[in-house]
A and B are shown apart, each in its own frame.
Chain A
Amino acid sequence: DGGITQSPKYLFRKEGQNVTLSCEQNLNHDAMYWYRQDPGQGLRLIYYSQIVNDFQKGDIAEGYSVSREKKESFPLTVTSAQKNPTAFYLCATAGLPVDTQYFGPGTRLTVL
């Protein structure tokens, strides 16, 4: 897990509520990523960012939003538009141009 912090570890949300997942890193990595993991489906890329104030949609961005105001932080907001948000969310960082990704411990989100 190294220098990547994800909080909280477990999160419960009522339907119709937005919720923000935190990801902080002290590895001085330029790139940061958000993935969603569902049983039997591996990791799916939600958003990624290679520099501050810039980010790109991944394969399943609908219903999610991000910001990258600081190099160390890449919060993910799960909006009420996300139809099935219950999942395990993983944040990762990497150096550039192409380097190993390092993963945080994850946040398990459950919608009640």
Chain B
Amino acid sequence: AQSVAQPEDQVNVAEGNPLTVKCTYSVSGNPYLFWYVQYPNRGLQFLLKYITGDNLVKGSYGFEAEFNKSQTSFHLKKPSALVSDSALYFCAVRDNAGKSTFGDGTTLTVKP
């Protein structure tokens, strides 16, 4: 069975500092990996994805993620955090049959 782990329930950073939100996964076959962001009482919004190709993926709002096959990780990063980045972030993996599994989410708080 596939799974996603987000080991940190909460990440706190100061505005202007770099941020990292961690994600590790387990899946049979090729991994299709996604990051989403959720604001309170809203649906999820897509940030970026890894399907194939370059291990460094660039996405919306200045976010990027690095795919590491040997460590089965797909950490989300941003060089300089903004207060408006504060939200709930989800990592997800999908298999070839279309089934998606999400992590439990990480709450990111960026303080001024």
Contact = CB atoms under 8 A, between A and B. Distances in A.
Interface stretch (A63-71, A72-80, A103-111): A103-111
Interface of B: 6, 9, 32, 34, 36, 41-46, 49, 51, 90, 92, 94, 96, 98-105
How many chain A residues sit at the interface, stated as a range, is: 20 to 34
Contacts, number: 66
Contacts of A84: none
A31 B99 CA distance: 10
A58 B42 CA distance: 22
Interface of A: 1, 4, 31, 33, 35, 40-45, 48, 50, 56, 58-59, 88, 90, 92, 94, 96-98, 100-106, 108
16 contacts: A1-B42, A4-B43, A40-B104, A42-B6, A43-B44, A45-B102, A48-B99, A58-B99, A90-B43, A94-B98, A97-B96, A98-B96, A101-B36, A104-B43, A105-B43, A106-B41
A55 to B, nearest CB: 11
Nearest to A101: B100
A87 B58 CA distance: 33
A56 B90 CA distance: 23
Given A101-B34, A101-B92, 20 more contacts: A31-B98, A35-B102, A42-B103, A43-B44, A45-B102, A48-B98, A56-B99, A58-B99, A88-B41, A90-B43, A90-B44, A96-B98, A97-B98, A98-B32, A98-B51, A98-B94, A101-B36, A103-B36, A103-B44, A105-B42
Given A90-B43, A100-B34, A106-B42, A42 B105 contact: yes
